Amino acid sequence: MRPLESLPPTETLEIENGLILVPRVKLTLTVYPKNPSVAKPIDEWQLKRALIEFLKTSLSVSITVSEEDLEIRRFRDLKKRKRDDPVAHGNLFIRDLGFLNKTNQRNSGYAEENETDVKVLEKKLIDWRKHVVEKMDGIELNLEGIKYGLSVAVPVSDDFEKMKKDWEEYYAFGNRGYSSGRQEPDTIVIRGAPSRWFAEPRVSSKPSMLVTHTIFSTFGKIRNLNVAEDDDLGKDADEDGDDIVSGLHCKIVVQFEKYGDFYNTLKVLCGRTLQKQGSQLKANYEVTWDKDGFFRCPRSQADEKSNRMPEKAAGQYRRETTRRESQFSQSSVDDTRRKRFKE
């Protein structure tokens, strides 16, 4: 795997277990009626079509977005909605970012120039994302004769510079009573990753500590690791949407030994979607840094020993996986079916 410091923000990164980190821009959307007394549910299809047309015709660069990349959740019961509450909210994913590379075609062999190119691309992406937010935020949508306002923002989990500023201020002005001498963060929290992508093949659909360690050790040496099913992700009783199936997602907490590995990993995870070779699924996880001291809290200290996963254990897992695959290669795995993601 190439050094993370030299990875442009528009480039795809292949990691372990056939997983791929694919660049995209994520924006949060909030829709509210201009007339607060509106009690009619918003037409989701018309809203999507209006936004797709806006992106094609109203930006400095025409952007094509599929309906699947527009996630809209309507307020379930408008009668319970307060006057100032939105009628819907959701996310917009812009994946076509190739135009940002067009003026950066210098494939220099010098590290200094490569580093400069990466910084130039990072600034171009941030400036263009800011432009999109400014153009979309506050626009008025007329759907079936009803006027709606749109609020658009960059989520904190996709804004690396904002997170960096937050942790610098956190450690500069106090860290909730922890004064162990560590003045830099080292732990990343990821939510919304598919459990089965971090599970042992043909053994279980639950996330595995060994598999997760193998994947994240490619980013740097790990001090502590925790992975568990995350059934609370995205639950909201007031939203209109499909019920969440238990066990589909997992929460991963990774503590690195070096600040540099933490920094580069978080920067790469920001602004990307997780995909897997051979699958159509796009996992739009959320990532942030840990300021709550996950591995320092009493509830975690009891498990800390089991969460430590040395490199020797990871190598043993790789050998064991190869052995298991050869054993199971002639057997059928169709006798156990569970409700899972659609591929």
139, HSE (Cβ side, Cα atoms, 13 Å): 19
Cα separation, 50 vs 55, in Å, equals 9
The Cα-based distances of 41 to 77, 140, 233, 235, 262 in angstroms read: 9, 17, 25, 20, 44
> Stretch 189-197: mean pLDDT, rounded?
95
> Tokens 């094509």 correspond to what residue?
64
In the chain, what percentage of residues exceed pLDDT 70? 74
Say what the pLDDT of residue 37 is: 78
CB atoms within 10 A of CB 41: 14
Say what the pLDDT of residue 144 is: 87
Say what the pLDDT of residue 297 is: 66
- The residue that leads in pLDDT, 245 or 231, is 231
- The residue that leads in pLDDT, 263 or 243, is 263
Confirm if 254 and 244 have CB atoms less than 8 A apart. no
Residue 151 pLDDT greater than 60, yes or no:
yes
247: nearest Cα among 199, 206, 201, 308? 206
DSSP string, 161-207: HHHHHHHHHHHHS--TT--SS--S--EEEEEEEEGGGGSPTTT-SS-
Cα separation, 152 vs 63, in Å, equals 16
**What is the amino acid identity at position 322?**
T
Residue 187 pLDDT greater than 90, yes or no:
yes
Residue 305 pLDDT greater than 70, yes or no:
no
Say what the pLDDT of residue 298 is: 55
Report which DSSP code applies to 244: P
Query: Is the CA virtual torsion 60, 61, 62, 67 positive or negative?
Result: negative
Say what the pLDDT of residue 83 is: 75
Say what the pLDDT of residue 195 is: 94
In the chain, what percentage of residues exceed pLDDT 90? 56
Confirm if 125 and 146 have CB atoms less than 8 A apart. no
From 45-54, 65-74, 114-123, 227-236, the region with the lowest mean pLDDT: 227-236
Cα separation, 317 vs 201, in Å, equals 12
- The residue that leads in pLDDT, 230 or 257, is 257
Sequence length of the chain is: 343
Q: Is 302 helix (H, G, I), strand (E, B) or coil?
A: coil
> Stretch 236-242: mean pLDDT, rounded?
47
Query: Is the CA virtual torsion 236, 237, 239, 240 positive or negative?
Result: positive
Q: What is the pTM of this model?
A: 0.79
Residue 302 pLDDT greater than 60, yes or no:
no
Say what the pLDDT of residue 304 is: 42
- Which of 60-64, 108-112, 136-140: highest mean pLDDT? 136-140
Confidence of residue 235 (pLDDT cuts 50, 70, 90): low
Say what the pLDDT of residue 330 is: 44
> Tokens 């994520």 correspond to what residue?
26
Per the structure block, which two tokens stand in for 145?
A: 């004769």
Strand pairing of 70-75 and 88-94?
antiparallel
The pLDDT mean for the chain works out to 81
Q: Which residues of 284-318 are buried (b: 16+ CB within 10 A; e: fewer)?
A: bbbbbbbbeebbeeeebeeeeeebbbeeeebeebe
Residue 306 pLDDT greater than 90, yes or no:
no
